[in-house]
Amino acid sequence: MGKRAQQKRAAKHAKQAKQRTAAASRNTAVFNALAAQMPRLTSMDDYEPMSTPWGDFTDSFTTVAEALTAAEEAGGLLSCFAFDDSGEYERALRRGEDGWRYEVTLYPRGYLRELVKTSWLSAEDRDQAVEQLRLALSAYVPPGLRRPDLEVVQRPSTTSVPRVGWTQSVPVAGLETWEDVRLAEKDLPLFALPPLADGPGGVCDPLPEEIFTLFQAQGLDAHSCAGCGMPVTNRHPHWPDVWVSVENEFGPSCERSLLTGMDSPQRVPHVIDATQARPARRPTGKEQKVQCRHCAAHVTEQHPDWPGVWTEAGGDSSPVCAVVGSGCGDAQSYDLVDCVYPHIPAGGDSPAAAAIAAAQQTGYFHQPRPVLF
């Protein structure tokens, strides 16, 4: 991921965290005072503070016993996926052989999540890849932080992309209130891992090559772009045979920040071999072009940087038509297989057409530029 994308993402997370903190405080006096200062907002009566899924979960079950009854009715499992400033978590009440347990699962995020997704998308045998990912994430934990009861597990996902994460649990017996639960989970060795869940360098540094080597050692097809360092795959269902990052910003476009003298405001394709990197080129203007059916930009398949990929014939020469919008819950957002969406020429088709139609209906679809005629 490029620096601008990192900053954007960090700012987005900070903004979300801020909104959540504000929501958690539920301080209506503050909202009313703010509303009074804003000329366009005369009343905050209709304002509903943003809630978190875990906050909603603990609000809807007053006690742990109430949640256990619901878990019993649900067949022995009740879980809640939610992220906070420190990480992406799934908390669950699970019936095991030795009785009920409260379980916390921490999932990779940021660059590490992108490596998990791209490695899985690239796999010939995706079932086998899940097991390889489990082993890779076990090996990823530094020896000093490993514990016999800290396991790597696969949990159900809301899409085809698997959820694989580190989990630990405690017996539910003796836990009556959610405060008891909070105190019980606080000392779990699992909570030493969140700083590593983005990657060894946190949200700021691309993954070091050793992490790709660690994934490859388990037989995974893990590739980094030589131009920007992002994990990439050429088997994304929307972008067959094109190297894409699954980060929801740039997809197939690279800013070459790792290659001196190569960076350019015009985006270029990712390359997994630095010797293949070329500076951005301009179309001649003689290319055959048609309008994109979604953004109305004039697109061509003959752009010199993106042969065979529908790309804007002028302007930014972007192969990206739209990006995934917000509007889904924490779990759905975590499991999204979509990265960015390609242009589709009017009257033409694309492997991404069905996903775009679904995304338009669910509100995930966001076009980054105004429609120009």
Report the distance separating Cα 270 and Cα 276, nearest Å. 9
Q: Return left, alpha or beta for 325; rule: phi > 0 is left, psi -120 to 50 is alpha, else beta.
A: beta
The radius of gyration of the chain's CA atoms, rounded to the nearest angstrom, is 23
What phi, psi does 102 have (nearest 5°)? -100, 125
Tell me how many residues contact Zn ion (CB under 5 A).
10
In the list 221, 294, 311, 318, the residue contacting Zn ion (rule: CB under 5 A) is 294
Stretch that binds Zn ion, among 32-40, 75-83, 98-106, 288-296 (CB under 5 A): 288-296
Angle between helix axes 110-122 and 209-217 (nearest 10 degrees) is 40
CB of 260 to Zn ion, least distance (A): 15
Stretch that binds Zn ion, among 40-48, 73-81, 170-178, 246-254 (CB under 5 A): 246-254
289 binds Zn ion (CB under 5 A): no
In the list 20, 223, 270, 289, the residue contacting Zn ion (rule: CB under 5 A) is 270
Structure tokens at 87: 């990480």
DSSP for 342-367 reads: E--BTT---TTHHHHHHHHHHT-EE-
In the list 1, 254, 258, 340, the residue contacting Zn ion (rule: CB under 5 A) is 254
What's 113's DSSP letter?
H
Stretch that binds Zn ion, among 19-27, 43-51, 209-217, 293-301 (CB under 5 A): 293-301
162 binds Zn ion (CB under 5 A): no
Structure tokens at 75: 């067949």
Report the distance separating Cα 111 and Cα 328, nearest Å. 21
In the list 115, 295, 340, 355, the residue contacting Zn ion (rule: CB under 5 A) is 295
228 binds Zn ion (CB under 5 A): yes
Residue entry with tokens 């790309």: 311
Stretch that binds Zn ion, among 53-61, 138-146, 272-280, 287-295 (CB under 5 A): 287-295
Helix (H, G, I), strand (E, B) or coil at 27: coil
Report the distance separating Cα 159 and Cα 355, nearest Å. 12
What is the footprint of Zn ion within residues 298-357 (CB under 5 A)? 321, 343
Q: Based on CB atoms, which residue is closest to Zn ion, 53 or 345?
A: 345
In the list 108, 206, 227, 283, the residue contacting Zn ion (rule: CB under 5 A) is 227
CB of 228 to Zn ion, least distance (A): 3
Stretch that binds Zn ion, among 50-58, 140-148, 275-283, 292-300 (CB under 5 A): 292-300
Instruction: Pinpoint the alpha helices (H) of 123-259.
Output: 126-140, 178-186, 209-217
CB of 209 to Zn ion, least distance (A): 14
Q: Based on CB atoms, which residue is closest to Zn ion, 162 or 227?
A: 227
Q: Based on CB atoms, which residue is closest to Zn ion, 270 or 303?
A: 270
In sequence order, what are the residues at sequence separation of 6 or more whose Cβ sits closer than 8 angstroms to the Cβ of residue 306? 252, 269, 317, 319
Q: Based on CB atoms, which residue is closest to Zn ion, 197 or 299?
A: 299
Q: Based on CB atoms, which residue is closest to Zn ion, 57 or 306?
A: 306
> Most distant CA pair in the chain: distance in Å?
75
Question: Which residues bind to Zn ion, rule: CB under 5 A?
Answer: 225, 227-228, 254, 270, 292, 294-295, 321, 343
